[in-house]
RNA sequence: GUGAGUGUCGCCCAGCGGUUCAAGGCGCCAGGUUGUGGCCCUGGAGAACGAGGGUUCGAAUCCCUCCACUCACCCCA
């Protein structure tokens, strides 16, 4: 902590630096995710970190908390209303419409990694900037596609090696059958208004579906025996849901239907699902998604059904740690080059470059530290080999190759070093 | 936005009104070998104790305000 005149800057609230020592978790997750996508035929898309603010009020829903109080919205110098993206689906749909991706064979399958921004009070597993991996399959309403998307999510977590997860499923109907269900639901809740928590009282008017997933204990008891959306589906939605469950059965996925799963974004229709870790802290969701059959049309495209999934990488990593999953380290340079004296340093500079050109990772000692200090550094860096060049070696055209794992070393001709390191 | 807890060297943390109040561990640097690591030993650098104000003869230790962090609610990844 330096005081004085200089102000000490900190990363803004709810953001964080990902230091080198943490990176292996990130690379691990990204690699597994990208591999899974490749396996299922999903292609990567990248989109801007900010969008026109209207895109989100239009898609996520004006009555949702994200839009209501969590968006980073500002006016840029040109007077445009800009929002730092709070999620990825809206952007993908925008891109789908904007670039006419309906001309591709349907469904179009896309995945992304993106930073998303939500103005919230940070806590465990919740940040103002976090990183999502997600994917979408656009242009088909076949329940087999739902099954694929759900299966893919489940397989991703399998490949990551996170144990004790559950897969929760529900169907919340479409614009034909949902209004009827909502009416029944409100009617049911009308009898319990006085027993609801204050949040639920306001939800009753604004977003009755959300009454179902309240964490308050007494509200839960009321929600437990509330009318179930799945019982009020129209013919098509009911058929869709039962087909989906059958396919998931074929895939032997251990899903559980929970009629209280509703999700917080307005665009969802029919299928909604979540992957949840064993209860631990307050973050009960590690990933989730669902179908959004009206969204593309809502954004100005042709009526186009779609389904997607998203997961928070920070939450995945939290779970990897709490479940003590073994994550492989990142590769690092093989060789450290130590030198003593000016001539030796010249030699070391040339040699480092030559080895790197041959594809051998090298960390070159800088400064003029003692050999002891240089080897100590080599040791903490964890390299397998140290190459030592002193004046004697320069004169004789050799180097000392030291095996750091067993402390054996030998002098070898400079010209033979590369070949020795490669074997 | 609401509630609770915390804030001492890069990290972990002792001290909880005064008499070494700034301790210890890790890490870092150096020495113990004149050109050699990991173990061990020795030494060193690094903190005016989140910021500002107050109480007091005296505060890191008490009070107030602010800030930050953490956890929880809301909501979600």
Same domain for A403 and A301, yes or no, is no
Same domain for A70 and A145, yes or no, is yes
A61 lies in some domain: yes
pLDDT at A36: 98
A307 lies in some domain: yes
The CATH number of residue A347's host domain is 3.40.50.800
Same domain for A369 and A248, yes or no, is no
Max Cα distance, chain A (Å):
95
A221 lies in some domain: no
pLDDT at A145: 98
A327 lies in some domain: no
Same domain for A397 and A356, yes or no, is yes
Closest nucleotide to A263 by C1' from CA: B76
Question: What count of residues does chain A have?
Answer: 423
In chain A the first and final C-alpha atoms are separated, in Å, by 48
Q: Is residue A158 classed as helix, strand or coil in its secondary structure?
A: helix
Which tops the pLDDT comparison, A68 or A156? Answer: A156
Q: Which residue is nearest to nucleotide B9 (CA to C1')?
A: A1
Percent of chain A having pLDDT more than 90?
Answer: 81
A406 lies in some domain: yes
Backbone φ and ψ of A113, nearest 5°: -120, 130
Mean pLDDT of chain A: 93
For residue A299, what are the domain limits? 20-177+233-322
Same domain for A72 and A128, yes or no, is yes
- Between CA A123 and C1' B6 the distance (Å) reads 14
Same domain for A279 and A392, yes or no, is no
Contacts of A335 (CB under 8 A, 6+ apart): A355, A360, A361, A362, A363, A383, A384, A385, A386, A387, A421
- Per-residue pLDDT band at A214 (split at 50, 70, 90): confident
Shortest CA distance to A296 belongs to which of A134, A84, A55, A70? A55
Percent of chain A having pLDDT more than 70?
Answer: 98
ipTM value: 0.89
A14 lies in some domain: no
Contacts of A395 (CB under 8 A, 6+ apart): none
- Between CA A2 and C1' B9 the distance (Å) reads 11
Same domain for A345 and A300, yes or no, is no
Same domain for A55 and A101, yes or no, is yes
- Per-residue pLDDT band at A9 (split at 50, 70, 90): confident
Task: Give the residue-averaged pLDDT of A396-418.
Answer: 95
* Single residue among A271, A297, A322 that ends a domain in this structure: A322
- Per-residue pLDDT band at A213 (split at 50, 70, 90): confident
Same domain for A282 and A341, yes or no, is no
Q: Is residue A293 classed as helix, strand or coil in its secondary structure?
A: coil
- Between CA A423 and C1' B60 the distance (Å) reads 59
Same domain for A364 and A313, yes or no, is no
- Per-residue pLDDT band at A115 (split at 50, 70, 90): very high
Whether A72 contacts A119, CB under 8 Å: yes
- Between CA A374 and C1' B44 the distance (Å) reads 19
CA–CA–CA angle A67, A268, A83 (5° rounding): 25
Question: A295 to each of A58, A143, A273, A290, A402, how far by Cα in Å?
Answer: 9, 18, 18, 12, 63
Same domain for A287 and A394, yes or no, is no
- Per-residue pLDDT band at A142 (split at 50, 70, 90): very high
pLDDT at A4: 38
A259 lies in some domain: yes
- Per-residue pLDDT band at A106 (split at 50, 70, 90): very high
Separation of alpha carbons A249 and A234, rounded Å: 22
Into how many domains does chain A fold? 2
Given a cut of 60, whether residue A94 has pLDDT beyond it is yes
Q: Which residue is nearest to nucleotide B48 (CA to C1')?
A: A3
- Per-residue pLDDT band at A281 (split at 50, 70, 90): low
pLDDT tens-digit map of A169-189: 999 999 999 999 999 999 999
List the beta strands (DSSP E) in A144-199: 165-171
A393 lies in some domain: yes
Same domain for A307 and A370, yes or no, is no
- Between CA A120 and C1' B1 the distance (Å) reads 10
pLDDT tens-digit map of A32-61: 999 999 999 999 999 999 999 999 988 888
Separation of alpha carbons A83 and A69, rounded Å: 12
Q: Which two tokens stand for residue A62?
A: 């004006």
* Single residue among A273, A299, A322 that ends a domain in this structure: A322
Nucleotides of B under 7 A from a protein CB: 1-3, 8-10, 27-38, 47-48, 50-51, 68-77
* Single residue among A284, A301, A322 that ends a domain in this structure: A322
Query: Order of strands across the sheet with A129-138?
Result: A43-44, A108-117, A129-138, A306-312, A287-291, A269-277, A165-171, A255-257
Separation of alpha carbons A385 and A408, rounded Å: 10
Which tops the pLDDT comparison, A116 or A69? Answer: A116
Q: Is residue A33 classed as helix, strand or coil in its secondary structure?
A: helix
The CATH number of residue A301's host domain is 3.30.930.10
Separation of alpha carbons A290 and A146, rounded Å: 8
């Amino acid at each position: 902590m330096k005081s004085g005149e200089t102000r000490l800057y900190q990363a803004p609230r709810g953001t964080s630096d990902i230091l080198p020592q943490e990176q292996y978790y990130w690379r691990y997750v990204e690699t597994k995710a990208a591999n899974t996508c490749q396996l299922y035929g999903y292609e990567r898309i990248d989109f801007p970190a900010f969008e026109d603010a209207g895109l989100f009020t239009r898609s996520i829903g004006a009555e949702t908390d994200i839009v209501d109080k969590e968006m980073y919205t500002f006016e840029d110098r040109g007077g445009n209303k800009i929002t730092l993206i709070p999620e990825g689906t809206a952007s993908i749909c925008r891109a789908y419409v904007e670039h006419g991706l309906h001309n591709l064979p349907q469904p179009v399958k896309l995945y992304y990694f993106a930073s998303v921004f939500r103005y919230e009070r940070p806590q465990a597993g919740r940040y103002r900037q976090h990183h999502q991996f997600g994917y979408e399959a656009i242009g088909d309403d076949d329940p087999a596609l739902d099954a694929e998307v759900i299966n893919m999510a489940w397989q991703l977590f399998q490949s990551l090696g996170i144990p004790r997860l559950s897969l929760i499923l529900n169907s919340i109907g479409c614009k034909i059958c949902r209004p009827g269900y909502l009416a029944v639901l409100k009617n049911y809740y009308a009898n319990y208004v006085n027993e609801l928590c204050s949040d639920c009282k306001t939800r009753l008017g604004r977003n009755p579906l959300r009454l179902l997933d309240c964490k308050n204990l007494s509200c839960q008891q009321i929600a437990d025996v509330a009318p179930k959306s799945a019982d009020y589906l129209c013919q098509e939605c009911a058929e869709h849901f039962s087909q989906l469950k059958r396919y998931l059965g074929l895939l032997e996925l251990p899903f559980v239907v929970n009629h209280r799963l509703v999700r917080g974004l307005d665009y969802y229709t029919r299928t909604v699902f979540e992957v949840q870790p064993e209860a631990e802290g307050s973050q009960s969701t590690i990933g989730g998604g669902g179908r959004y059959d009206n969204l593309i049309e809502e954004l100005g495209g042709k009526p186009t059904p779609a389904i997607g999934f998203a997961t928070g990488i920070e939450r995945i990593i939290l779970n990897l740690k709490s479940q003590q999953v073994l994550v492989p380290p990142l590769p690092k340079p093989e060789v450290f080059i130590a030198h003593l004296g000016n001539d030796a340093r010249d030699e070391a500079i040339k040699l480092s470059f030559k080895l790197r050109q041959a594809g051998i990772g090298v960390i070159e000692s800088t400064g003029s530290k003692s050999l002891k200090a240089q080897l100590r550094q080599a040791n903490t860096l964890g390299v397998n080999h140290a190459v030592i060049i002193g004046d004697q070696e320069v004169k004789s055209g050799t180097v000392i190759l030291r095996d750091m794992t067993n402390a054996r070393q030998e002098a070898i001709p400079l010209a033979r070093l590369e070949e020795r390191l490669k074997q």
